[in-house]
Amino acid sequence: MDDKHEQRRPVVVTERGSVRGVTEEGGVAAFRGIPYAASPVGDLRFSSPRPHPGWNGVRDAARSGPGAPQGHSRLEAILGPRELHSDEAGCLTLNVWAPEGALDAGAPPRPVLMWIHGGGYTSGSGGWDLYDGGRLAALGGIVVVTINYRLGPLGYLQAPELGADNIGSQDQAAALRWVRDSVAAFGGDPEAITVGGQSAGAYSALALALDPGTRGLVRRVIGQSGPWGLEPQEPAEAADAAAHYLRLLGVPGAGALRGLPVERLLEAYGRLVVERARPGDTAPPTYPVRGGALTATGWREAVAGGALRGTDVLLGGTQDEMTAFLAITSFGEPLDVAAEQFFRAGITEIAGQCARDGAPAYVYRFTRRPPGEADIGGVALGATHCAELPFLFGTFDAFRDAPMLGRVDAADRALGRAFGGALAAFTATGSPNGPGLDPWGPWIPGVPGLEPGAEPESGPEVRRFGPATR
Domain ranges of the chain: 3-465
> Is the Cβ–Cβ distance between 339 and 321 less than 8 Å?
yes
For the chain, the distance separating the N- and C-terminal CA atoms, rounded to the nearest angstrom, is 57
What is the model's pLDDT at position 374?
Answer: 74
Residue bearing the bigger pLDDT, 12 or 455: 12
- String of DSSP letters for 94-150: EEEEE-TTTTSTTPPPEEEEEEE--STTTS--TTSGGG--HHHHHHHT-EEEEE---
Residue 1 has pLDDT above 50, yes or no: no
Helix intervals (H) in 327-466: 335-339, 345-356, 389-393, 410-429
Name every residue whose Cβ is closer than 8 Å to that of residue 10 and which is 6 or more positions away in sequence. Answer: 20, 21, 23, 29, 103
Supply the pLDDT for residue 5: 47
For 11-49, write each residue's pLDDT tens digit.
999 999 999 999 998 999 999 999 999 999 999 999 999
How far apart, in whole angstroms, are the C-alpha atoms of residue 318 and residue 333?
19
Mean model confidence pLDDT for the chain: 93
The model's pLDDT over 233-259, given as tens digits with 9 standing for 90+, comes to 999 999 999 999 999 999 999 999 999
Compute the Cα dihedral for 59, 169, 356, 226 and give only its sign.
positive
Angle between helices 235-249 and 262-275 (to 10 degrees): 120
pLDDT 10s digits, 48-63: 999 999 999 999 999 9
Whether 452 shows a pLDDT value over 50: the answer reads no
- Which range has the worst mean pLDDT, 40-49, 404-413, 458-467? 458-467
Q: How confident is the model at residue 461 (pLDDT cuts 50, 70, 90)?
A: confident
* Residue 470, pLDDT score: 40
Q: What does the alpha-carbon distance between residue 391 and residue 465 come to, in Å, rounded to a whole number? A: 10
Label residue 453 by pLDDT band (50, 70, 90). very low
DSSP secondary structure letters along 245-304:
HHHHHT-SSGGGGGGS-HHHHHHHHHHHHHHT--TT----SS-PBTTBTTBSS-HHHHHH
- pLDDT, tens digit, 9 for 90 and up, residues 304-359: 999 999 999 999 999 999 999 998 888 888 999 999 999 999 999 999 999 999 99
- Answer whether residue 459 shows pLDDT above 60: no
pLDDT greater than 80 at residue 388: yes
Q: 341: burial class by Cβ within 10 Å (0-12, 13-18, 19+)?
A: middle
- What pLDDT was estimated at residue 446? 66
Give the span between the Cα atoms of 296 and 215, in whole angstroms. 13
Chain segment 98-138, per-residue pLDDT in tens: 999 999 999 999 999 999 999 999 999 999 999 999 999 99
Asked if residue 46 lies in contact with residue 7, where contact means CB atoms within 8 angstroms, the answer is no
Collapse the DSSP code of 15 into the 3-class scheme (helix H, G, I; strand E, B; otherwise coil) and give the result.
Answer: coil
pLDDT for the residue 8: 86
Residues with Cβ within 8 Å of residue 47, at least 6 apart in sequence? 40, 162, 163, 164, 167
423: left (phi > 0), else alpha (psi -120 to 50), else beta?
Answer: alpha
Please, are residues 146 and 95 in contact by the beta-carbon 8 Å criterion?
Answer: yes
pLDDT of 454? 47
- Proportion of the chain above pLDDT 70, given as a percent: 94
CA distance 145 to 344: 27
Cα–Cα distance between 225 and 365 in angstroms, integer?
10
Please state which of the four CATH numbers 3.40.718.10, 3.40.50.1820, 3.40.640.10, 3.40.570.10 is assigned to the domain occupying 3-465. Answer: 3.40.50.1820
pTM of the model: 0.95
Active site residues: 199, 321, 385
pLDDT for 7 equals 61
Amino acid at 161: E
Non-local (6+) Cβ contacts of 244 within 8 A are 272, 275, 276, 285
Cβ atoms of 385 and 393 closer than 8 Å:
no
Q: Are 94 and 56 in contact (CB under 8 A)?
A: no
